[in-house]
Structure 1
């Protein structure tokens, strides 16, 4: 406070400048003025010249101290006098607290700050104004236009930045509104501004709107840049129009704009993401014929597509070519290859690439470890998975939501309830929220351990947390109840799915059918099959085999064969499970000849019998022998 009292007289002595006048509109704002803090000392002696001098000598404490009592007209005058030094105007605005200023002064401040070389301060102030919703974007536009005229700003920078602010806030419709307001004033936005609009429309999947806007640009003779064409090619790729995307390259060339590596990378990525790797390779050849060399992103897309298509040898060869060209793979590229070999079950290769990236000084990421840990769990190599988790900690990598989900899912599938819930508690303690997959895994393992009360309690907690329940979680809980003979609870969950708008799938029906068949209520299982057909859910092998097994266990072989024929009529061939169920049923009915005929039939179709097949036949023959002995003794 003492510093303020000492400084004010010094500044006052320097006031020999005439007060510079401002247009009257800045003194007659219709908005609310700054609220005066009655506890502060009167500031009638504070003049615009004093504040300008304070700003120029960096006396910000003095300005901040008196800011609550400053009249809007004084602030307007100061901002106007500082318009040639926008950095000082920005600092002054922050010290008089921008959010407390009335609207007219805010727009003046934004207009002055827009003179800065960096657009970021202006964007920040614009976003703050837009998000406050104290005025619509059209009103903001009009008032900025007024401020622009008064300051003599001839460029369109204020409107360009307003559009950009709207787009960055994902309020692209308001950005388009500003664009058309500019058009009405006869102002042409910068091509960079148009690109921001197109890019935002693309990100929001508003591809149709992107084409409408692009056509408007064309009408207004706004010349497209290479970045514009790349966006529109991306739009075509997102729409799945890959041929048109390739043709668009010719269109841009005819307009005198040569494609670059980004142009071709966009198309190659689109082909690869749709499983059309061969098409991507043709685009790569066209790219090279134009003298454009592929980069790391090009190869990354190709390698990813090949791995997804299980073409691991080609992916590995392409990866090798990339390194031969002197392109240094990133951790992302290595992760793509590692993921490919993990999914292909070749962990030796996957770990080999992990070791290679370490040797090159490329640190494995959390994603790298997640993929390797998941692959180890898939092969039930629990000890090695635990070692990798420890290794992550030693390297300072923090397990994320996906890591914990993999660990919980892995231990759940292996039936280790203690470890699964241990990791669940650990992630909660670290403030990491479990995913839907995490909860599903825990429900699954509880079901396998016959702890359905705990599974139901966990399900209720999940509902209360507001987690969106999906069909997979419902299926896990229904399966647990069906396996434990709680069919009433299973069907109550089935009804709850409708209440929560979660459509059942073939797994849901198959699980319920299996539960009914275990009870011997095969007719009700049959009704479920008919119901799933009515709902447009296509039965699969499991659906038909469940019914065949149900009828066979009961000895109703005519019904079992009828379902077998129905299965074949829908395009499904009998499987090992089909034959085993039928053989078991005929053997139980002491019809060994038919069972042997079925054995020969399955072998002729290339289906190899297993232990269950032969055990059924042996038991069947034993039943026949016993029956003959009983009849002879009579």
Structure 2
């Protein structure tokens, strides 16, 4: 009872997606095929009366086809062909109307000879609907409207007039108008469809909600159309149309498509108050809408609400969530959703796997991406060129160019053609690895296949050349880009500026940055950070500071890399107090330093043998919740070994191993020497053997120590072995 009351209240309001539900004039209408009480009646059918001669002719045809049903019509009606007129067809249809199959056979025979009159066509459509053959009725109407009409408006008026005229006597089934309405919508004649709805209301006929939903869906295909769809959605209930869940879903989807997610969410909330219960599609549409605008909090709340109502998320819902989590860098959570999806027996397709593989690649977890790639093979899910491209991109970002090239070859063996994105990803990987010869070979191969290198491709090549100091060749590539009509972007300019800084031509780099500004390619944070790094390495801290001020004046936000560049500059210039002040300033501004920021300071204090200051910085790092990395431990271990704090060094060594970090060769050397000097030969020897097993080369001084130890112990075999190893690794390699 409550639901019925709420549903009836809906007619007192209309929904405006920009204003919410607003009152409308109360309209007393009910959801039925009956229209208003003052509806005008359909006209009586009154065809032209045949003459005596025509009557005999028509009766002769009618009798003949009824008596000779087993014979083909083309044979028995051949004598009548030359005399048959359009009116004769209508009069014959009147005589045989009770035999639906005969009606169709005769009409098809007649229209092969000449186009039937519009009245005859409408009569057969009416008979088809009355005989519940909606498919045939639809086909007949569609055939009329798929022909080009010089004047659509005139043709629509004529067709509707004949359909209304023949309605009362030839079927009187309202679905005939649904058929006509659906054909108009499918043909894209939406204006005429709207006119048909309005015309039928006057006759007391209401179109089905399914037909109206088709109209809503087709209207919503464009931004202008959605405005009309919203108007229809608001006004049609006044005429008696009862929208259902599908109707709401169409509007929800349309609003989300055009970025009106908040308005769509409001409509979702209102649905239940209107007695319309949202289904999984309703929620999935809004979830996807919020995914598109990257509002993860809203997505998670809606997922909880959906499941709380006993609805199971669909593949579409899961796909949207996984894509957003990957885009947000929350790849671990994305995989959890992926596994939950599988547990719900919703099996992911190629697209979901590829999204996750791409996400793992971008987050540097390429081995996890490889695991999913293998899982696809086990589950017999076909990898397309997008999947391979995602894998190749991830491998290249992780510096695993050999594996990337192997997959690139595998693509060809599977008949998959790499596109510009695939080639560019591999070219970029080769450039980062310094394999410029192979990068240019891929570039040439790409051109031979008819693919056009884009700005990203050239930027990768320019960056690779600049990192090798080949700035002049990189400049030649810029001219080649210009000849092909490609405009360099900020990344291209940044690569050249970086190359100029690497070869020490900072003056030219600054000049190029000024040219960028004039050309409208405004320098970004990376541009400024690159130049600041060059000044810092030269000890020109005042100029680096000036660049930072210019950068801030232009509204550019420094990144943690920018601050680490400054910190490194302070430390290299011996300005450690300034470095500490920089960390303090960052914390005051809410900018969290990372391990690299603290490592630079700790390294310099260790070099100065000031372990007290080093320890204070390390404690401050922990206090801010910044986790030490491998470099942090190696710096501290070497510092404590140098200061002969072997107990602290050993504790740090143990802690870093537990956390999965590895010692560097320099740290091993420092620990071995430190323990030996403290007469801790057992610990020193254990670390020396561990170091060799890890493939690290010990210093000559350490080889000398253990050659002497083994000699004094009378262990001749080990002594000779260590002598040979020392000669090979410390002398031969040094000379080569």
Corresponding residue to 1:357 among 364, 376, 379: 376
Q: Secondary structure at the match of 1:454?
A: helix
Corresponding residue to 2:617 among 602, 624, 627: 602
Corresponding residue to 1:267 among 275, 286, 299: 286
Question: Would the alpha carbon gap of residues 211 and 409 (structure 1) be closer, same or farther in structure 2, given more than 3 Å must change?
Answer: farther
Question: Would the alpha carbon gap of residues 356 and 247 (structure 1) be closer, same or farther in structure 2, given more than 3 Å must change?
Answer: same
Question: Would the alpha carbon gap of residues 555 and 123 (structure 1) be closer, same or farther in structure 2, given more than 3 Å must change?
Answer: farther
Aligned counterparts, 1:32-431, within 5 A: 143-150=151-158, 152=161, 191-201=213-223, 214-215=233-234, 224=243, 226-235=245-254, 237=256, 245=264, 248-249=267-268, 251-253=270-272, 255=274, 257-270=276-289, 274-276=295-297, 278-288=300-310, 293-304=312-323, 309=330, 310-311=332-333, 314-323=336-345, 327-342=346-361, 347=366, 349-431=368-450
The superposition leaves residues 548-605 of structure 1 with CA deviations (integer Å, 9 ceiling, x where unpaired) of 44455455667666655544442335555555655787899xxx48x55532322222
**Bigger mean CA offset, 531-540 vs 461-470:** 461-470
1:473 is the counterpart of 2:492: yes
Cα distance in structure 1, aligned partners of 2:180 and 2:355 = 44
Corresponding residue to 2:513 among 476, 494, 504: 494
Cα distance in structure 2, aligned partners of 1:477 and 1:486 = 11
How far 1:417 sits from its partner (Å)? 0.8
Cα distance in structure 1, aligned partners of 2:454 and 2:147 = 34
Cα distance in structure 2, aligned partners of 1:462 and 1:556 = 44
CA contact (8 A) 1:551 1:557 kept: yes
CA contact (8 A) 2:611 2:639 kept: no
CA contact (8 A) 2:141 2:183 kept: no
Residue in structure 2 matched with residue 98 of structure 1 by the alignment: none
Q: Which runs of 5+ in 2 are unaligned?
A: 1-80, 88-108, 123-136, 164-176, 202-206, 622-627, 644-736
Corresponding residue to 1:452 among 466, 471, 493: 471
CA contact (8 A) 1:315 1:337 kept: no
Question: Would the alpha carbon gap of residues 581 and 311 (structure 1) be closer, same or farther in structure 2, given more than 3 Å must change?
Answer: closer
How far 1:510 sits from its partner (Å)? 0.8
Aligned counterparts, 1:525-544, within 5 A: 525-544=544-563
CA contact (8 A) 1:264 1:284 kept: yes
Cα distance in structure 1, aligned partners of 2:513 and 2:240 = 60
CA contact (8 A) 1:164 1:197 kept: no
How far 1:271 sits from its partner (Å)? 5.1
Aligned counterparts, 1:569-608, within 5 A: 569-572=588-591, 577-578=596-597, 592=608, 596-606=611-621
Cα distance in structure 2, aligned partners of 1:466 and 1:160 = 49
Q: Secondary structure at the match of 2:452?
A: coil
Corresponding residue to 1:441 among 449, 453, 460: 460
Residue in structure 1 matched with residue 58 of structure 2 by the alignment: none
Q: Secondary structure at the match of 2:222?
A: helix
CA contact (8 A) 1:264 1:287 kept: no
Higher relative CO (Cα under 8 Å, sequence separation at least 6) belongs to 2
How far 1:452 sits from its partner (Å)? 1.6
Corresponding residue to 2:535 among 516, 525, 533: 516
How far 1:453 sits from its partner (Å)? 2.2
Cα distance in structure 1, aligned partners of 2:521 and 2:472 = 22
Q: TM-score, normalised by structure 2?
A: 0.55
**Bigger mean CA offset, 266-275 vs 384-393:** 266-275
Aligned residues: 494
Indicate the structure (1 or 2) with the bigger Cα radius of gyration.
2
Question: Would the alpha carbon gap of residues 600 and 191 (structure 1) be closer, same or farther in structure 2, given more than 3 Å must change?
Answer: closer
Question: Would the alpha carbon gap of residues 287 and 419 (structure 1) be closer, same or farther in structure 2, given more than 3 Å must change?
Answer: farther
The superposition leaves residues 227-256 of structure 1 with CA deviations (integer Å, 9 ceiling, x where unpaired) of 431133235556877676455345345555
Cα distance in structure 2, aligned partners of 1:283 and 1:408 = 46
Aligned counterparts, 1:13-24, within 5 A: none
CA contact (8 A) 1:245 1:267 kept: yes
How far 1:266 sits from its partner (Å)? 1.5
The superposition leaves residues 377-410 of structure 1 with CA deviations (integer Å, 9 ceiling, x where unpaired) of 2333333222222222222222123221221121
RMSD: 4.9
Q: TM-score, normalised by structure 1?
A: 0.63
How far 1:156 sits from its partner (Å)? 10
Cα distance in structure 2, aligned partners of 1:531 and 1:240 = 37
How far 1:427 sits from its partner (Å)? 1.9
How far 1:529 sits from its partner (Å)? 1.0
The superposition leaves residues 351-370 of structure 1 with CA deviations (integer Å, 9 ceiling, x where unpaired) of 44434433443222222222
Cα distance in structure 2, aligned partners of 1:405 and 1:334 = 22
Cα distance in structure 1, aligned partners of 2:429 and 2:182 = 52
CA contact (8 A) 1:401 1:434 kept: yes
Question: Would the alpha carbon gap of residues 347 and 319 (structure 1) be closer, same or farther in structure 2, given more than 3 Å must change?
Answer: farther
How far 1:503 sits from its partner (Å)? 3.4
Cα distance in structure 1, aligned partners of 2:147 and 2:441 = 45
How far 1:280 sits from its partner (Å)? 4.2
CA contact (8 A) 1:400 1:432 kept: yes
Question: Would the alpha carbon gap of residues 328 and 573 (structure 1) be closer, same or farther in structure 2, given more than 3 Å must change?
Answer: closer
